[in-house]
Chain A
Amino acid sequence: VYRLHGRYHEMAPNVVPMDYTKDPDVKLPMQLIINMPELKENPFKERIVESFSEDGGGSLSFNDFVDMFSVLSEMAPRELKAIYAFKIYDFNTDNFICKSDLEKTLNKLTREELTAEEITLVCEKVIEEADMDGDGKLGFADFENMISKAPDFLSTFHIRI
């Protein structure tokens, strides 16, 4: 935790206090956090910071910062990671991964190198495979079920700090 505090402090040394016993209310804005070397090149960095921020706007207090890296660490249990992964991939925050969310995800993953037709095909296939109750969207139960079949999820959804 000291290491994390060091990293948090060095992002804005004049704002973040070294002493946290008085529980100060300091929040760092999103712009500073997404410039961290671990997150800078990640296409989902804005979504990651937004899902961990208390007010939904993207500024993280130290607690949120620790939360974020603890969920993304090796020791976090699979269910917790699945919950936050679902939040990250849900771009319009309606608690479902609908077709537009999927399209946005795919565009970010491939830097828009797939043609529109291919993207539609992939989205349809994904929804067809994962949607169990036939509503055309992925709810959290569908997502978790699908993630449990992906053994790589635990190792890829992991940032070392």
Chain B
Amino acid sequence: MSRSRPPSVTLRVPEDTESDGQEPSPDSEGALHTSFHQLIQEQSSLVEAGLELEMQARGREHPARLDPPDACAAAWPEPGQGEQHPGYSSASLRILASMPSRTIGRSRGAIISQYYNRTARLRRRSSRPPLQHLCRTARPSLRQYDLETDPARATLEDKRSLLVKELLSLSPGQRSHMLLTVPLSLAEKRTLRQELSGQRGAPRQHRVPSSPCGWSKDDIALSCRGLWYRLLSLLPAAQPWHYALKQIGGRFGSSVLSYFLFLKTLLMFNIVPLLILLVFVVALQAAYPPASASPRPFTGLELLTGAGYFTHSLLYYGYYSNATLNDPCASSPNGSACPLAAPPLPYNMPLAYVFSVGVSFLITCVLLVYSMSRSFGESYRVGSSTGDLAARVFSAWDFKVVQRRSVKLQSKNICTQLKELLAEQRSRSRSLSLCQRLGHCAVLLLAWALALGTVLGCVLAVRYLSEHMHAVQQGHRARGSGQRWQEAVPLVLPLVVSLLNALMPHLYNLLALWERQDSPVARLYVAICRNLLLKMVVLGLLCYQWLSRRVVCSAEECWETCVGQDLYRFMVMDFIFTLLDTFFGELVWRLILEKRLKRKQRPEFDIARNVLQLIYGQTLTWLGVLFAPLLPAVQMLKLLLLFYIKKTSLMQNCRSPSKPWQASHMSTVFVTLLCFPSFLGAAVFLSYTIWSVRPSDTCGPFRGLETIYKSGKTWVQVLERSNPNIGWLAWAHQHLLQDTFLLFLVSGVLLAVTYFNVQVVRGQRRIIRLLKEQIANEGEDKIFLIQKLHAVYEQRERRA
């Protein structure tokens, strides 16, 4: 630390300047900054006695000439520490030390005055002062500030009362938000709140005579919020698995935790359709069982195949009646007249069925879109193309991780990440030769061709297998072989599909190893893409087969129950194969690694593959809700069991992932995948079934109708006939739901809104660029001004 000091060094500046004589604690008001205090002391200690008196005389002029620091300026940084600029006089260092950029966030008074300014700005934004009151001569950005009431000079109590006054003028929601974000200690916030309630008590006495019940809107809002927090604290059950999630996060970090949080979200998504269907459809049908059922004996195989005892039960579509429940006429023998009057509360089963399914899908859609937009809002930012490394350095450390081994692993991960980033940047500067680039492209193309080829192969295999199984089943039926054999045959197709779903991801992993993509993020996306493609194409083929009924369920009379049974079998097989995958992929692999290959490394928990498995299961549930109303219950049971099994296996067998994982980004991707291919596909399937497919004639709530949709239409017509006043409903129904004009209008409006939003985002990007330029300019301005200041002081010293 070499310092060249001019001989006429500045000396001990007199104690009567404003920001002086106080202890250099970071919390004391208006204090000198600690780092500068030491510097100034060092400089003053090399005093030469002769110049002391003269400096004292000149010092008294200083306060008059010192320009007060501009309190309205933002946090401008300082061009280097004092050590790097040895020529700066102690007085100018003193000014620099009391700049807002040094004191903001440190002393209580500075924080309070900063937040006073912020609340004042908020208030002014809502109510602009008239133009005549604005001072014309000030800078445009300063015109809105009341420079007289600038709190930078006031004492702590004055500042506090000013802040309280400002806070009172805000709405309660804004006020509590402002109090939440102020970085003061709890004791300070408590005193602020006390002052607020004290001040509010006084005007309330004037208001009480006007309002009879004496409750203002603020009181209601505050009391509601207090009640809600008290309720939350009393219910530990409202936070299920809190300790388990903390354990997982502590050992494996946020990435693996995101899988379990996704599982919890799916559980919540399943509760809604389950409740609606349970209340409106299942419970009532259970209270009025149809007379025709001939129950078969219960054998254990039913849980696997879903047939047998379960065929004529609440589980499937075929059980539900097509008439009005609790209607005594329906249970009387055919042909006889019905002397009894109509029941007081007729419950039309078909309508209830179709409306419950529709409403549950609608609510799920709304919930999905809401959660997707919320995670989008959290993870994407406008203009965030650069600044990768910096953001990643500061948000890299996961504070949740608690165990020593995991902490060491995390350090190593961060180290590897940084090295990879540096290597990537170095390689980006080095461009590849043309030959290498062509070779790389060829490898990529080949890998993709292979992947698509395997998908096609799987699809064809599934198709031929289903036809073969159908032929086998016909043969068995013709020969009249045993019941068990007949029920085991339909299990083969789900088994093969689940096997493919379990094995192909490993093949794709091998392919990715051969491909050797550059960035790990791209590798992850490619893997997800391929797996998703496989699953969705196979599901699409199966849906086509179910609806066209040329191969599957063609011999059945009640084809909906058959489809429901098929879906149930698919779900059970998926669960079994997930268990097997966990068992072999994690437990057995760990044993092999430890005992045979003698490696200390445990297998990794493959997050992407597991999440895709969850999405696949959820798609099956949504596809099957119409045909098997209790399927969400089965899915919920499956998810509950899966949570505990996966958690146990994770704790025993796995280690945390070594690849970098952007948790919130990936959560957004997963929710989007849940919404777009999965939910949208299920919704399309459902709509097609309701609108165009002919239900079976002998079973279910829609037997005999042309399409399921017709039941709704006939109901509207019946309503219209019975009560001509509701004619508008029929008109609305006919013109809004059946005409395609409305569809075009809605899509047009959506397109317009999207275009508008895109333009807004573009405008915001431009503004961000302009503001950045402005900041850079102001920084240069400030450097210039400081240099001028020092030049002035030096001149003065030289004159002395």
Residues of A bordering B, CB below 8 Å: 37-38, 40-44, 54-56, 63-64, 66-67, 72, 76-77, 79-80, 83-87, 89, 92-96, 105-106, 109-111, 113-114, 118, 121-122, 125-126, 129-130, 132-137, 139-141, 143, 146-160
Interface size class of B (residues with CB under 8 A): 35 or more
- Asked if B397 and A139 make an inter-chain contact with CB atoms under 8 angstroms apart, the answer reads no
One of A41, A111, A154 near B401 (C-beta < 8 A): A41
- Asked if B399 and A72 make an inter-chain contact with CB atoms under 8 angstroms apart, the answer reads yes
- Asked if A109 and B411 make an inter-chain contact with CB atoms under 8 angstroms apart, the answer reads yes
CA distance A135 to B101 in the complex (A): 13
- Asked if A146 and B394 make an inter-chain contact with CB atoms under 8 angstroms apart, the answer reads yes
- Asked if B75 and A89 make an inter-chain contact with CB atoms under 8 angstroms apart, the answer reads no
CA distance A143 to B245 in the complex (A): 30
Q: Can you list the 4 inter-chain pairs with the closest CB atoms, starting with the nearest?
A: A133-B779, A150-B391, A135-B77, A151-B379
- Asked if B662 and A152 make an inter-chain contact with CB atoms under 8 angstroms apart, the answer reads yes
* CB 8 Å contact bits of B157-183 with A (1 = contact, 0 = none): 000000000000000000001001101
New A-B pairs, 14, CB < 8 Å, besides A41-B407, A77-B180, A143-B394:
A41-B404, A42-B407, A79-B181, A80-B183, A111-B408, A113-B415, A126-B393, A133-B76, A135-B80, A137-B77, A155-B254, A156-B398, A157-B399, A160-B250
- Asked if A146 and B776 make an inter-chain contact with CB atoms under 8 angstroms apart, the answer reads no
CA distance A67 to B780 in the complex (A): 38
- Asked if B254 and A152 make an inter-chain contact with CB atoms under 8 angstroms apart, the answer reads yes
Chain B residues within an 8 Å CB radius of A155: 254, 663-664
- Asked if B185 and A67 make an inter-chain contact with CB atoms under 8 angstroms apart, the answer reads yes
A139 to chain B, nearest CB (A): 5
Instruction: Considering the complex, give the chain B residue whose CB is closest to the CB of A121.
Output: B422
Instruction: Considering the complex, give the chain A residue whose CB is closest to the CB of B111.
Output: A83
Chain A residues within an 8 Å CB radius of B794: none
Chain B residues within an 8 Å CB radius of A150: 391-392, 394-395
Chain A residues within an 8 Å CB radius of B249: 160
B34 to chain A, nearest CB (A): 7
Chain B residues within an 8 Å CB radius of A44: 397
- Asked if B79 and A135 make an inter-chain contact with CB atoms under 8 angstroms apart, the answer reads yes
- Asked if A135 and B399 make an inter-chain contact with CB atoms under 8 angstroms apart, the answer reads no
CA distance A41 to B407 in the complex (A): 7
- Asked if B411 and A111 make an inter-chain contact with CB atoms under 8 angstroms apart, the answer reads yes
23 A-B pairs in the complex with CB atoms less than 8 angstroms apart: A41-B401, A63-B185, A63-B187, A72-B399, A80-B181, A94-B35, A95-B106, A110-B411, A113-B412, A114-B418, A122-B389, A126-B390, A130-B390, A133-B775, A148-B381, A151-B378, A151-B379, A151-B664, A152-B664, A155-B663, A157-B395, A157-B399, A159-B400
Chain A residues within an 8 Å CB radius of B422: 118, 121-122
- Asked if A151 and B662 make an inter-chain contact with CB atoms under 8 angstroms apart, the answer reads yes
- Asked if A160 and B662 make an inter-chain contact with CB atoms under 8 angstroms apart, the answer reads no
- Asked if B389 and A109 make an inter-chain contact with CB atoms under 8 angstroms apart, the answer reads no
Q: Which of B42-83 contact A (CB under 8 A)?
A: 74-80
- Asked if A152 and B663 make an inter-chain contact with CB atoms under 8 angstroms apart, the answer reads yes
CA distance A80 to B184 in the complex (A): 10
Given A63-B187, A95-B105, A122-B389, are A41 and B395 neighbors across the interface (CB < 8 Å)?
no
CA distance A114 to B398 in the complex (A): 19
- Asked if B780 and A122 make an inter-chain contact with CB atoms under 8 angstroms apart, the answer reads no
B260 to chain A, nearest CB (A): 13
Chain B residues within an 8 Å CB radius of A147: 391, 394-395
Instruction: Considering the complex, give the chain A residue whose CB is closest to the CB of B412.
Output: A113
- Asked if A125 and B390 make an inter-chain contact with CB atoms under 8 angstroms apart, the answer reads yes
Chain B residues within an 8 Å CB radius of A159: 399-400
B390 to chain A, nearest CB (A): 4
CA distance A125 to B424 in the complex (A): 13
Chain B residues within an 8 Å CB radius of A135: 77-80, 779, 783
Chain B residues within an 8 Å CB radius of A109: 393, 396-397, 411, 414-415
A21 to chain B, nearest CB (A): 14
Binds A, one of B25-33, B292-300, B563-571, B679-687: B25-33
Chain A residues within an 8 Å CB radius of B246: 160
Given A113-B411, A160-B249, are A106 and B395 neighbors across the interface (CB < 8 Å)?
no
Given A122-B389, A153-B394, are A92 and B664 neighbors across the interface (CB < 8 Å)?
no
Chain A residues within an 8 Å CB radius of B390: 125-126, 129-130, 146
CA distance A154 to B418 in the complex (A): 21
One of A64, A118, A152 near B395 (C-beta < 8 A): A152
- Asked if B398 and A134 make an inter-chain contact with CB atoms under 8 angstroms apart, the answer reads no
CA distance A129 to B392 in the complex (A): 12
A25 to chain B, nearest CB (A): 11
